[in-house]
Chains A and B, each alone.
Chain A
Amino acid sequence: MQYFLRRLAVFPLVMLGVSVFVFVAIRLVPGDAITAMLGTEGGMLTPAQREALAAYFGLDQNWAVQYLRWLGGLLTGDLGISVTYGQPVLDIILERFPLTLQLALMSMVVALAIGLPAGVFAATRAERPSDLIVRIFAMVGQSMPNFVVALLAIYILSVGFGVLPTMGRFIPFTQDPLGNLAQMILPAIALGTAFAAAVTRISRAAMLEILSEDYVRTARSQGFSQSYVIWRHALPNALIPVLTLSGVEFGYLLGGAVIVEQIFALPGLGRVVLDAILQRDYALVQGVVLFIAFNFLLVNLLVDLAYAAIDPRIRYGGRK
């Protein structure tokens, strides 16, 4: 119980640190905020207009006051207004996030569906040729950047099968579920490949270790079949490191979405943050980065709590 409480108490503190970091980072941008906000149009302002704007946005106050105001806004869901969209930042995030989340979840499904069976298969055939082949694939897969997988997949599809993935027009799931999945599967594979390779390696390593444990050998010596021992005893234990990895990997999926969404022209959060950086739309950059960091931390918190619940050693042990 103490572990849960400590973990829950640390979460808002790290989140507070993240907000300070993002706040300070954006203020380190060269040039004043008004110019940053308005771009070239900022040059057309008279000094009086400039001061009025600065006062309006609270920029005439010192950083501490500005930060507290901004933080107060954050807590009530006010992330500011995007200059390029002319909309509240929160609205843009909520509109675009479902796509990125779907992409991340689909990639995770792809990774687990390939990685777990492959890892278990390799572990049960350790040091045999089939194990070696799986390991080579995993090693190569882990070295493939998602954009390389994406481009190669598009190339193979277009040249080998004469089809091009639907790009440019996004089909929402609610409108046409099948069309949506057909459109999302390639991006999900591109994003999930390296993750699948990592899952393969981790689950293989975990399985190997568990298969050499005493209780597994005992179970087998009692006459339980190999597959019973694997499914009943070994796999549940091997899932713990996979779960941890998935939590960490979720952040990479959200980050990797920036590139994959760009390649496949998907209007998700990754595209928004990239455009915002190129357009120097700082309120939007700030909002999206905070939002993604928040989700990443939240998922890792849930993973930590989940495996504390599974594994009593963590709950009672002195793990920090």
Chain B
Amino acid sequence: MSVLSALMRHSAGRIGLVIIVIFTIAAILGLLGLTPHDPLAQDRLARLQPPGGAYLMGTDLFGRDILSRLMVGIGQSFVVALLSVGLATLVGTILGLTAAWFGGLWDGVAMRTMDVLLAFPAILLALLIVAILEAGMTTSIIAIAVVYTPIFTRVARGPALSLKTRSFVDAARTFGSSRLYILSRHLLGNLVAPLTVQVTLALAWALLTEAALSFLGLGTQPPNPSLGLMLSDSRNLMEMAPWMLIFPAAVIMLAVLGFNLLGDALRDIADPKSRRALT
């Protein structure tokens, strides 16, 4: 709760939190199917309708409701972002913690593998993985998780290395605490703050990567709505139907902005030293 109230006192954090809460509600409604219209239903008499009337954000070339499609699209994007970042956090943290704890060969193998993954530009690595697996939602999740795992491995390993030598870890060891207990209770407990910051920022990147993949036609497959696909659809119609471009563009931008603001605010709260410098 104290984090939440600290966030509300942080001006950028407050804006970020409000954006994310609104989008999360829209995403949940979209996933539950509680949209104003059926996102897949085609209304042939209402093709390319401007915003207003029955269709609050207008319709696309097939007379499908943009607002409903956006809500489902946000839902899909959030699911992909949450699952991929969750997966990356889990794998990355385990790798980073064990690398720091055991050191030696395991540390070398794990960290050099991460170096190799980091040698690829993010979108290219994701594309390579999509090329191997079949394009779709599951593949997007796996691809984005692989791309961001090295970052979490590094975030977890660094502090764990220094925590390992601290006296409370030695004390726990002399009390006879098991390795697993020390790793999870003492090391992980102290990593929560840096990891939370990283998770929030990674959610922003994951949203971007997902939108980029589906924009290229390698993410969510039509006719399912996704933010990237909707933008891609708007390309040839933007002069005639600018709402097809403006609304999805605004949604992607605001969602990413929300997570970025939230991540920065959390970093300020976790580390007041960086406060002035990075907001």
Please give the distance in Å from A198's CB to the nearest CB on chain B. Answer: 11
B132 at the interface (CB under 8 A from A): yes
Q: Contact at A17–B122, with CB atoms within 8 Å?
A: no
- Would you call B260 and A258 a contact (CB within 8 A)? no
A148 & B119 in contact (Cβ 8 Å cutoff): no
- The number of chain A residues touching the other chain, given as a range, is 35 or more
With A17-B112, A151-B231, A155-B245 as given contacts, are A259 and B215 in contact (CB-CB < 8 Å)? yes
A44 at the interface (CB under 8 A from B): no
**A80 on interface, CB distance cutoff 8 Å:** no
Q: Would you list which residues of chain A between 227 and 283 have a CB under 8 Å from chain B?
A: 251-252, 254-256, 258-259, 262-263, 273-274, 277-278, 280, 282
- Mask, A126-143, CB within 8 Å of B = 1, is 100000000100011011
Q: Is the CB of B208 within 8 A of A145?
A: yes
B122 near A258 (CB under 8 angstroms)? no
Surface stretch bound by B, among A52-60, A62-70, A291-299? A291-299
Q: Which residues of B contact A26 (CB under 8 A)?
A: 132
- The stretch of A170-178, A201-209, A215-223, A307-315 that contacts the partner chain: A201-209
- The answer to whether A155 and B123 touch across the interface, beta carbons within 8 angstroms, is no
Query: CB-CB < 8 A to B131: which residues of A?
Result: 29, 277, 280, 282, 285
For B258, the closest partner residue in chain A by CB is: A143
- B229 → chain A, closest Cβ, in Å? 12
Q: Mark A29-61, 1 if CB is under 8 A from B, else 0.
A: 100000000000000000000000000000000
Whether, in the assembled complex, B253 has its beta carbon less than 8 Å from a beta carbon of chain A, the answer is yes
B residues near A155, Cβ cutoff 8 Å: 238-239, 242, 245
Tell me, yes or no, whether A81 is within 8 Å of chain B by CB.
no
Give A107-152 interface residues, CB cut-off 8 Å to B: 126, 135, 139-140, 142-145, 147-148, 151-152
Residues of B within 8 A of A251 (CB): 120-121
Given contacts A208-B276, A292-B121, contact A142 B260 (CB under 8 A): yes
Q: A143-B257, A148-B231, A152-B245 are in contact. Are A205 and B277 (CB under 8 A)?
A: yes
- Whether, in the assembled complex, B256 has its beta carbon less than 8 Å from a beta carbon of chain A, the answer is yes
A14 at the interface (CB under 8 A from B): yes
Q: By the criterion CB–CB under 8 Å, are A208 and B252 in contact?
A: no
Residues of B within 8 A of A15 (CB): 119
A143 near B256: Cβ-Cβ < 8 Å: yes
Look across to chain B and name the residue whose beta carbon is closest to the beta carbon of A292: B124
Q: Does A289 contact B (CB under 8 A)?
A: yes
- A18-B242 contact, Cβ under 8 Å, with A258-B216, A273-B124, A289-B124: no
Is B127 an interface residue, CB under 8 A from the partner? yes
Contacting A at CB under 8 A, from B196-251, are 204, 208, 211-212, 215-218, 228, 231, 234-235, 238-239, 242, 245, 249
- Give 7 nearest A-B pairs by CB, closest first: A255-B121, A143-B257, A17-B116, A143-B256, A255-B123, A251-B121, A205-B277
B residues with a Cβ closer than 8 A to A are: 12, 112-113, 115-117, 119-124, 127-132, 204, 208, 211-212, 215-218, 228, 231, 234-235, 238-239, 242, 245, 249, 252-254, 256-257, 260-261, 264, 276-279
Apart from A151-B238, A258-B216, what are 9 other A-B pairs with CB-CB below 8 Å? Answer: A21-B117, A143-B204, A143-B257, A145-B208, A151-B231, A155-B238, A258-B124, A273-B124, A289-B128
